[in-house]
Amino acid sequence: MLDAFLFAANAVLPIVILIAFGYILKRIGLLTKDFLNIGNKLTFRVLLPVMLFYNVYNVNSLGDINFGFVLYGILAVIVIFFIGIAVMCVFTKDNAKRGSLIQSVFRSNYAIIGLPLAESLFGAEGAAAAGVMSAFCVPTFNALGVITLSIFNGSNEKGKINVKKILKGIVTNPLIIGTVAGVAALGIRELFVLGNISFRLKDIEFLYDALGDLKSICTPFALLVLGGKFEFSAVSRLWKEIAFGTFVRTVAVPVLGLGGALVLRATIMPELAGEHFATYMGVFATPVAVASAIMAKEMGADDELAGQLVVWTSLVSAVTIFIYVTIFRTMGIF
C-alpha cells in the first residue's frame, strides 16, 4: 500500500504543485490579470496546438495503433456526452448554465493534465499511448464542445441547432487544427516510408527543434496560468451547480469510464495494459478542460460557472486522481 501511495503522489503532486505555484504568483502580484488572459490565449491558440501536432507526429507508426483501445475511449466519451445532456437538462433550466455543465461532464483537461499524467504514470509507453489517443479524443472533445455551446448558450434559449455555426466552430478550433495537422504530417511520413523516401520533418532540424521547445514549455506554462486563473468568488451564488458539476466530473465520470475499461479488459480485451489505463485516467479522471471556460466566454455560455468548474474540479481531482491511481497500483495495473 505504501508503494502505491508513493507512486500516486509522484504522479499527481508535481501537477498540483505547479497549479498552486501559479496561484501564489498571482497572489503576490507577479502574474497580472492581463498577463493571464494573454497567457490563456497563447496556450489555447499556439502552445496546445503545437504540442498536439508534435505528439501526434511522433507516434511510432499508424500500424502500431491499438484501435480497440482508441475506440473504447472515443465511444465512452460520446456516451457520457449524451448522458450529460440528459442529466443537465433536468438539473437546470438555464440554457447558458447547461452548456457549461455539459462540458464539465465529458470534456477533460486531457491536453494539459492528461498527457503528462499518463507519462508520469507509465513513462514512455504511457506517453506514446496518450499521444495516440490525443489524435482522436482531442478533436472529439472540441467538436462536442462546439456542438454543446452552439445549442446551449445564453442567446439560444430555445436550443435551436445551427449546423453552419457548429461546423464553422469545429473547423476553426485551434486544437482541432493542431491535431489534424499532426495526423496529416504523420500520414505523409507513412507515405514516405512506403515510397522509400528518406526525408522526414526531423531533417528540418531548426524547425523541429523549435516545435519541440514550444511543446516542452506548454504544460508547465499552462499549469501556471491555470493556477493564476483560480478565483474563489461567486461560490455562494453558484454552489449547487459547482458541487454537482464537480461531483459528476471527478467521481461519476471516472467510475463509468474506468469501470467500463476494467470490464472490457476482463472480457474481450485482455491486452489492455498499464499504458492504456494511464491514458484512460487522462481521458476520464482529469478535471474540466481550461479551454472549456475560454470557449464558454466566446460562445455565450455561462463563462463564470465554467471558470469555477475548472477551478473546483482541478482542486478535487488532485485527491480523486490520487485515489484512483492508488487503487490501480494496488490492483497491479500500474
User: In the prediction, which pLDDT does 196 show?
Assistant: 85
pLDDT score at 231: 73
What one-letter code names the amino acid at 31?
L
The pLDDT confidence band at residue 159, using thresholds 50, 70 and 90, is low
pLDDT at residue 157, rounded to an integer = 59
81 pLDDT above the threshold of 60: yes
**Per-residue model confidence (pLDDT) at position 220:** 87
| pLDDT band, residue 2 (cuts 50/70/90) | low
Cross-strand bridge partners of residue 108: 288
Instruction: For 308-330, write each residue's pLDDT tens digit.
Output: 898 888 888 888 988 898 888 88
Q: What is the pLDDT of residue 267?
A: 92
Coil vs helix vs strand at 233: coil
Find out if CATH 3.30.465.10 is the number for domain 2-330: no
pLDDT at 282 over 80: yes
Reduced to 3 states (helix: H, G, I; strand: E, B; else coil), residue 108 is strand
- At 35 the pLDDT is 92
Three-state DSSP state, 231: coil
User: What ranges do the domains of the chain cover?
Assistant: 2-330
Tell me which residue of 105, 110, 112, 103 sits closest to 19, measured CA to CA: 112
Residue with cell 495503433: 65
List, for residues 284-296, the tens digit of each pLDDT value. 998 888 778 777 8
- Chain-centre distance of CA 303, in angstroms? 18
Half-sphere exposure of 208 (CA within 13 A, CB side): 10
Q: For the chain, how long is the longest CA-to-CA vector? A: 63
Q: How would residue 5 be classed by pLDDT, with cut points 50, 70 and 90?
A: low
For the ranges 37-51, 94-108, 220-234, 309-323, the lowest mean pLDDT is seen at 220-234
Can you tell me which residue has the cell 491486452?
Answer: 271
Taking the mean position of all CA atoms in its chain, how far away is CA 178? 14
Residue 102: pLDDT over 60: yes
pLDDT digits (tens, 9 = 90+) for 109-148: 887 788 888 888 888 888 888 888 887 888 899 889 888 9
pLDDT at 281 (0 to 100) = 93
Among candidate residues 141, 78, 69, the one with its CA nearest the CA of residue 111? 141
Query: Phi/psi at 183 (nearest 5 deg)?
Result: -65, -40
CA–CA separation, 312 and 284 (whole Å): 16
Percent of the residues in the chain that have a pLDDT greater than 90, as a whole number = 31
Dist. CA 157–CA 174, nearest whole Å = 27
Rounded to two decimals, the pTM is 0.82
> Is the model's pLDDT at 29 over the cut of 70?
yes
